[in-house]
């Protein structure tokens, strides 16, 4: 079962993105993040697909029971928003809604290729900026987003703890 997640305000999503800049992002970090997402999703019996990329290279992909090829299509559409805007797909969609419109109506981008729905988050590294994305698809968009944020918070906490003397 999934838990209900409140929809965050724009300022909260911006704060998440500012806070979740990682000190580094290696292949091992991608594996750690991906396996953490799998653990969190399995604990909730969430029927999700997970994708982690650095640039154009896919570093991690997993599809859990109950997910489908449709989730992979959603991942691609949400990821393209992160690649284009350098911000989470949830934040991009929220900004359009705050203007009284929708991403689909006003972005002038093909909705078959882009989806500003929650679940794709930029992987940002200190001193480098956005270098990739982590995406989850299969839950309502606020829950997809929250799952990614929870996993990134844990990865960052681990990295920060390892850097302390």
2 domain residue, yes or no: no
Per-residue pLDDT, 165: 79
1 domain residue, yes or no: no
**Of the candidates 139, 142, 158, 130, which has an alpha carbon nearest to the alpha carbon of residue 50?**
139
CATH assignment of the domain containing 24: 3.30.450.150
Given a cut of 50, the residues of the chain with pLDDT beneath it are 1-4
Per-residue pLDDT, 1: 33
Q: Is the dihedral of CA 114, 143, 54, 51 positive or negative?
A: negative
3 domain residue, yes or no: no
The domain tally of the chain equals 1
5 domain residue, yes or no: no
Per-residue pLDDT, 6: 64
Per-residue pLDDT, 21: 98
The DSSP line for the chain is: -PPP-PPPPHHHHHHHHHHTEES---HHHHHHHHHHHHHHHHHTT---EEEEEETTEEEEEEE-TT--HHHHHHHHHHHHHHHHHSS-HHHHHHHHHHTTS-HHHHS-S-TTT----SSEEEEEETTTEEEEEEEEESS-HHHHHHHHHHHHHHHHHHHHHHH--
Per-residue pLDDT, 135: 98
Strand order through the sheet with 21-22: 21-22, 120-125, 129-137, 49-54, 57-63
Q: Which domain holds residue 33?
A: 10-158
Instruction: Kindly state the percentage of the chain with pLDDT values over 70.
Output: 96
């Amino acid at each position: 079962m999934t838990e209900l997640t409140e929809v965050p305000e724009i300022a909260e999503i911006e704060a998440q993105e500012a806070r979740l800049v990682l000190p580094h992002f290696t292949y091992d970090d991608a594996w750690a993040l991906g396996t953490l997402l799998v653990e969190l999703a399995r604990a909730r019996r969430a029927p999700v697909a997970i994708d982690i990329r650095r640039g154009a290279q896919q570093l991690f992909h997993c599809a859990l029971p109950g997910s489908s090829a449709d989730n992979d299509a959603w991942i691609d559409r949400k990821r393209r928003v992160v690649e284009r805007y350098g911000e989470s797909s949830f934040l991009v969609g929220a900004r359009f809604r705050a203007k009284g419109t929708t991403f689909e109506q006003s972005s002038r981008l093909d909705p078959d290729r882009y989806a500003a729905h929650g679940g794709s988050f930029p992987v940002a590294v200190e001193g480098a900026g956005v270098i990739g994305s982590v995406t989850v698809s299969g839950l309502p968009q606020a829950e997809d987003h929250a799952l990614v944020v929870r996993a990134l918070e844990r990865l960052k906490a681990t990295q920060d703890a390892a850097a302390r003397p």
